[in-house]
Amino acid sequence: MSTKEGVLANDRTNFSKNKILFPVFMLDGPPVWCMVMPMVCRRPCCRYRVNSNSGEVLKDLPACARNSYPVETKYCIDYKNSHLGRSATAVFDLVMPTYGNGEFCSRMLYNIINRSYLERVKDYYSFHKEKQEEKEVLPYLEKDGSYIVSYPPLGDGIRDSYDVACSNPNTPWQISDHDRHTREIQSVGCRLTFAQDHTHEVSKNYFQKKRMGAVALWDLATETGEIASAVVVPSTKTIHLAHAAAQLSRRGGFNPSAMCSDTWPSKSDFWDRAFNSELQGRLGLFHFIQRITKTLKKKHTDYFMALNGQHAGNSASQSQS
């Protein structure tokens, strides 16, 4: 393999030099054990050294050669003593953004190793039972220390690996998932209307959210259902979303005519200034109804009749439409 200024040559593998193997933890069976070939530049002034299972090396290979190593290039982290296989990261990429539960992902890896060990024990003893051998059957290898000599990462390690992989540019398209998702959000436009709100449930899944100061997520959705902006804010004050809103107003292709908010007409001066008084504000229908029902006296004799009549009227209008 060639570098910018030289050619990488093969060195001794980790097994021939230290008699060790590199584990790759999978979600569809026991770990895969690999012999890793270090590669070094032979130029005396360079002596650059890198492992062959590094994402920096694998990302430049064609897919037919790259897929022989069962790990995505963004998860090929150099300083790790093990890698997460493609079958595991395909599931973790769906679980981690929503739940951030690294302990659950770690338990799945441990569980599949324990199950594979029990299956091998069952195969071993059932084979000798079917053979009906009279000689004494030797006990199967112990699980810890013989069958299992390396263990999957814990919850914190999986979370760290996921965070590094999201910002790792060692991908076939030379851009990290974080930057790709950011550019996708930045390309969202608007022609009709948008809705802005603060979401508190999202911040509950943030790791060390108190240290980060993550109180809520300010998000803005367009009429197509796409998210045009999403930023973590330390409070629901307008000063903490002003910079993101100002950037949004200068975005090309973002020219809305109306907006919906749960606090309108509060802070209407800010939105008029951001969009040059060309934006019509509207209060969301749910919050409009809430402002009416919250003013009713709950101890009044007609309180429940008014609420039930309102719900009946809404159901009738929906059935007619």
Residue-wise DSSP of 172-241: TTSS-HHHHHHHHHHT--BSSEEEEEEESTGGGG-TTHHHHT--EEEEEEETTS-EEEEEEESSS-GGGT
Question: Are 200 and 271 part of one and the same domain?
Answer: yes
In this predicted structure, what is the pLDDT of residue 320?
46
Q: In sequence order, what are the residues at sequence separation of 6 or more whose Cβ sits closer than 8 angstroms to the Cβ of residue 2?
A: 8
Q: Read off the pLDDT band of 162 (50, 70, 90).
A: very high
Return the higher-pLDDT residue of 242 and 203: 242
Question: Are 200 and 308 part of one and the same domain?
Answer: no
Q: What is the arithmetic mean of pLDDT over 122-131? A: 86
Q: What is the arithmetic mean of pLDDT over 254-274? A: 86
Q: What is the DSSP string of 123-188?
A: HHHHHHHHHT--SPPPPPPPTBTTTB-S----HHHHHHHHHHHHT---STTSS-HHHHHHHHHHT-
Question: Are 41 and 105 part of one and the same domain?
Answer: yes
In this predicted structure, what is the pLDDT of residue 264?
84
Question: Are 61 and 39 part of one and the same domain?
Answer: yes
Hey, what are 175's tokens?
A: 């851009």
Q: Read off the pLDDT band of 318 (50, 70, 90).
A: very low
Q: What's this model's pTM, rounded to 2 decimal places?
A: 0.71
Closest CA to 72 of 60, 52, 90, 97: 90
CATH code of the domain covering residue 206:
3.30.420.10
Number of domains in the chain: 3
Whether residue 109 is predicted with pLDDT greater than 50 in this model: the reply is yes
Residue 195 lies in a domain: yes
In this predicted structure, what is the pLDDT of residue 1?
55
Whether residue 187 is predicted with pLDDT greater than 50 in this model: the reply is yes
Question: Are 217 and 247 part of one and the same domain?
Answer: yes
Residue 141 lies in a domain: no
Question: Are 28 and 175 part of one and the same domain?
Answer: yes
Q: Which domain holds residue 259?
A: 187-280
Q: Read off the pLDDT band of 310 (50, 70, 90).
A: low
**If 0-12 CB within 10 Å is exposed, 13-18 middle and 19+ buried, where does residue 283 land?**
middle
* Mean pLDDT score across all residues of the chain: 84
Q: In sequence order, what are the residues at sequence separation of 6 or more whose Cβ sits closer than 8 angstroms to the Cβ of residue 236?
A: 198, 215, 216
Q: What is the arithmetic mean of pLDDT over 143-154? A: 80
Q: Percentage of the chain with pLDDT > 70?
A: 93
Q: Read off the pLDDT band of 317 (50, 70, 90).
A: very low
Question: Are 222 and 305 part of one and the same domain?
Answer: no
Residue 153 lies in a domain: yes
Q: What is the arithmetic mean of pLDDT over 195-222? A: 83
How far CA 100 is from CA of 24, 251, 307, in Å, comes to 22, 32, 40
Q: What is the arithmetic mean of pLDDT over 219-243? A: 90
Whether residue 111 is predicted with pLDDT greater than 90 in this model: the reply is yes
Whether residue 17 is predicted with pLDDT greater than 50 in this model: the reply is yes
Q: Which of 179, 199, 233 is the last residue of a domain?
A: 179
pLDDT tens digits for range 81-97: 899 999 999 999 998 88
Residue 174 lies in a domain: yes
Give the separation between CA 181 and CA 191, rounded to whole angstroms.
22
Strands 83-84, 22-25: pairing is: parallel
Q: In sequence order, what are the residues at sequence separation of 6 or more whose Cβ sits closer than 8 angstroms to the Cβ of residue 133?
A: none
In this predicted structure, what is the pLDDT of residue 132?
73
Whether residue 311 is predicted with pLDDT greater than 80 in this model: the reply is no
Question: Are 86 and 173 part of one and the same domain?
Answer: yes
Q: Which residues pair with 50 in a beta bridge?
A: 39
Residue 140 lies in a domain: no
Residue 131 lies in a domain: no
Question: Are 229 and 267 part of one and the same domain?
Answer: yes
Question: Are 241 and 93 part of one and the same domain?
Answer: no
Residue 276 lies in a domain: yes
Inter-helix orientation angle 102-131/86-99, to 10°: 140
Question: Are 107 and 254 part of one and the same domain?
Answer: no
Question: Are 95 and 224 part of one and the same domain?
Answer: no
Q: What is the arithmetic mean of pLDDT over 305-310? A: 73
Residue 99 lies in a domain: yes
Q: Which of 160, 179, 198 is the last residue of a domain?
A: 179
In this predicted structure, what is the pLDDT of residue 319?
47
